Amino acid sequence: MTEKLKYKREIEKIQQMGICCPPDELIVPNNLQTFRFVFEDPYHIKNHKPPGANNPQRVLNEKDQKKCSLYGLSCFKRPDSAKQFFLEHSKHIPKFYKAVGETLSTGLIDGNDGLITEEGKHTHFDLFEFESCNLSNKFIPIEKLI
């Protein structure tokens, strides 16, 4: 990896705990249409910012590999899967939308943005951004979810 990751200092602290972060099996995205939750306000401070950066205390409370995931941006490969994820989490976490945003957005990501994990449940994957990545100008809102 030639380009530095955003949150490199925080990720190095996780590595010092003996946790492989980010995972070894990262993939270079190639114009991958991606779906993410954002806030309606395009300038909201939490837009395109991973949970660990928004709430560093949360990282201390999580189990091993989850600590690392908190410095990746949650993304989805399909809009229906993203909406299902949002609905499921909203049932169990009051005001879930206040943590992730109330709007589904879409954009294309590529190898200049960062590296991604393999797709998991709900077509979810994490994007570990490079320092130069700015998703604000790549994603557009497509649907308000609440």
Range 139-145 average pLDDT: 97
Residues in the chain: 146
Asked if 140 and 124 touch (Cβ cutoff 8 Å), the reply is: no
Taking the complete model, does pTM exceed 0.85, yes or no? yes
Confidence (pLDDT) at 93: 92
Query: Mean pLDDT, the chain, as a whole number?
Result: 92
- For the cut 90, the answer to whether the pLDDT of residue 65 exceeds it is no
Please, which pLDDT band fits residue 38 given cuts at 50, 70 and 90? very high
Question: For the chain, where are the alpha helices, taking DSSP H only?
Answer: 8-15, 51-54, 56-61, 64-69, 79-92, 97-100
Q: What is the pLDDT of residues 112-141, one digit of tens each?
A: 999 999 999 999 999 999 999 999 999 999
Residue 9, φ and ψ in degrees, nearest 5: -60, -45
Q: What pLDDT was estimated at residue 62?
A: 64
For residue 38, the tally of other CB atoms under 10 A from its CB is: 22
